[in-house]
């Protein structure tokens, strides 16, 4: 059986977990939490800081609170995304304004943003699908002109870049995921990237249940106390200890995944050239992270047949997402601005192929050969 995903494991995680246990601190905020945050901050460049969180969902929720999203505000985002992109703002009482996606990268269509802006618009949320960056120059220009906050959903974009800049480190906030389906994992976990120094300090308080505990441990205050609103968004040291060695092996992990990605592309290009399928599109000014390899079938019916065909050959391939604007909650808490020219159509054609760290070339060939065999019939 070729699984769709296997969580990355490089072999040194347990030794770091043991060291965390021996340190006597299992709760968050210890050595490994700080090491991960320092590594991420260095990669992100011009930011006030990066904080590990218990999930990317919680990172998005923190960003919504730090951006002061309130009831009645409107948030512009693509409908083609995971539910957490929207629920983080719905919890604050905001309404979601969905816009269509581009058919090439499957990211939000930046040309539709300006027309969707109203006097109640508070933020733009670009989602970097498959680790391929949105058109961030255009998005940032629009945000600047209308004084809007930009919150990047970079759950799939760790270590991917747009014109040399790390995804998640371009807007006001960026949110990463370290779920076990991602390139690097801590089981469940995430991180928030924060540009503004004052908001970074506020984020520390927010993450630490509304206390100034982080400042206390840095010796900035002689005792810590409750100072503001907050919740428990900090992961344990055990999670951070599992993640840390993977971050240091980030280049080799991505190279391994990229080898599988490129092999898929090479083996399936003849089918694409014959018009049977479409392959991912990567703009020249973007560097993706081989988070996923997908193909586009002709339609929903063909995709269903292909999934069944692959399952019969012990290959697990999956699809996502059901467009949020057509879901029950999407209709309740948001609206589609403009027309759905591509979101539903493209979502019904996408099929994600197995791709993970350690996937063998033989497995990739078996998947590709099976797809070729399906279309040869």
pLDDT of the residue at 196: 96
> Would you state the torsion angle of the CA atoms of residues 20, 231, 196, 31, taken in this order, to the nearest 10 degrees?
-10
CA-to-CA distance for 134 and 350, rounded, in angstroms?
Answer: 18
Q: Which domains does the chain have, with CATH numbers?
A: 13-248 (3.40.640.10), 250-376 (3.90.1150.10)
pLDDT, tens digit only, all 377 positions of the chain: 999 999 999 999 999 999 999 998 898 889 999 999 999 999 999 999 999 999 999 999 999 999 999 999 999 999 999 999 999 999 999 999 999 999 999 999 999 999 999 999 999 999 999 999 999 999 999 999 999 999 999 999 999 999 999 999 999 999 999 999 999 999 999 999 999 999 999 999 999 888 887 776 666 766 688 888 889 999 999 999 999 999 999 999 999 999 999 999 999 999 999 999 999 999 999 999 999 999 999 999 999 999 999 999 999 999 988 999 999 999 999 999 999 999 999 999 999 999 999 999 999 999 999 999 999 98
pLDDT of the residue at 138: 98
Question: Which structure tokens are listed for 371?
Answer: 């797809």
What 3-state DSSP class applies to 248?
helix
E strands, the chain, in order: 49-53, 74-78, 95-99, 121-124, 149-153, 161-162, 165-166, 173-177, 190-194, 286-287, 293-296, 334-336, 350-353
**Residues 6 or more apart from 14 whose CB is under 8 A from it?**
none
CA-derived radius of gyration, the chain? 21
What distance lies between CA 106 and its chain's CA centroid?
A: 14
Give strand pairing partners of 309.
none
**Residues 6 or more apart from 112 whose CB is under 8 A from it?**
99, 100, 337, 338
Q: How far apart are the first and last CA of the chain?
A: 23
β-strands 95-99, 74-78 pairing: parallel
CA-to-CA distance for 82 and 212, rounded, in angstroms?
Answer: 32
Burial of 88-103, coded b for 16+ CB within 10 Å and e otherwise, reads bbbebebbbbbbbbbb
- Total length of the chain: 377
CA-to-CA distance for 130 and 81, rounded, in angstroms?
Answer: 11
β-strands 74-78, 334-336 pairing: unpaired
Query: What secondary structure does DSSP assign to 92-160, as a single string?
Result: TTPEEEEE-B-TTT-SB-GGGHHHH--TTEEEE--B-GGG----HHHHHHHHHHHT-EEEEE-TT-TT-
CA-to-CA distance for 219 and 207, rounded, in angstroms?
Answer: 18
CB 309 within 8 A of CB 374: yes
* Cβ neighbours, 10 Å, residue 29: 21
CB 333 within 8 A of CB 72: no
* Cβ neighbours, 10 Å, residue 360: 10
Entry pTM: 0.96
For residue 160, which of 292, 269, 62 has the smallest C-alpha distance?
A: 292
Query: What DSSP state is assigned to residue 324?
Result: G
Give strand pairing partners of 353.
293
């Amino acid at each position: 059986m070729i699984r769709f995903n296997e969580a990355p494991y490089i072999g040194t995680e347990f030794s770091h977990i043991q060291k965390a246990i021996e340190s006597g601190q299992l709760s968050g905020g210890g050595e490994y939490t700080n090491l991960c945050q320092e590594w991420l901050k260095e990669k992100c460049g011009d930011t006030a800081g990066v904080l590990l969180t218990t999930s990317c969902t919680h990172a998005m929720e923190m960003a919504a609170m730090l951006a002061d999203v309130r009831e009645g505000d409107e948030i512009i985002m693509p409908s083609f995304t995971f539910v957490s992109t929207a629920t983080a703002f719905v919890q604050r009482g905001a309404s979601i304004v969905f816009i269509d996606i581009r058919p090439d990268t499957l990211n939000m269509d930046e040309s539709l943003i300006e027309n969707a802006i109203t006097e109640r618009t508070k933020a733009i949320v670009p989602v970097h699908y498959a680790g391929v960056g949105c058109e961030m120059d255009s998005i940032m220009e629009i945000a600047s002109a209308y004084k809007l906050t930009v919150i990047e959903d970079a759950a799939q974009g760790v270590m991917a870049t747009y014109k040399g800049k790390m995804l998640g480190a371009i807007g006001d906030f960026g949110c990463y995921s370290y779920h076990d389906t991602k390139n690097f994992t801590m089981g469940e976990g995430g991180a928030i990237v924060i540009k503004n120094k004052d908001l970074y300090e506020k984020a520390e308080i927010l993450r630490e249940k509304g206390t100034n505990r982080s400042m206390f441990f840095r010796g900035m205050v002689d005792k810590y106390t409750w100072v503001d609103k907050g919740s428990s968004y900090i992961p344990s040291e055990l999670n951070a200890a599992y993640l840390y060695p993977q971050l240091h092996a980030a280049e080799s992990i991505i190279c391994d995944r990229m080898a599988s990605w490129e092999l898929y592309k090479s083996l399936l290009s003849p089918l694409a050239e014959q018009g049977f399928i479409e392959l991912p599109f990567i703009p020249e000014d973007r560097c993706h992270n081989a988070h996923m390899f997908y193909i586009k079938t002709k339609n929903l019916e063909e995709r269903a047949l292909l999934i069944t065909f692959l399952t019969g050959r012990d290959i697990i391939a999956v699809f996502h997402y059901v467009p949020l604007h057509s879901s029950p909650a999407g209709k309740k808490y948001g609206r589609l601005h403009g027309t759905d020219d591509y979101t539903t159509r493209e979502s019904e054609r996408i099929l994600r192929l197995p791709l993970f760290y350690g996937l063998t070339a033989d497995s990739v060939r078996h998947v590709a050969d099976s797809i070729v065999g399906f279309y040869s019939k």
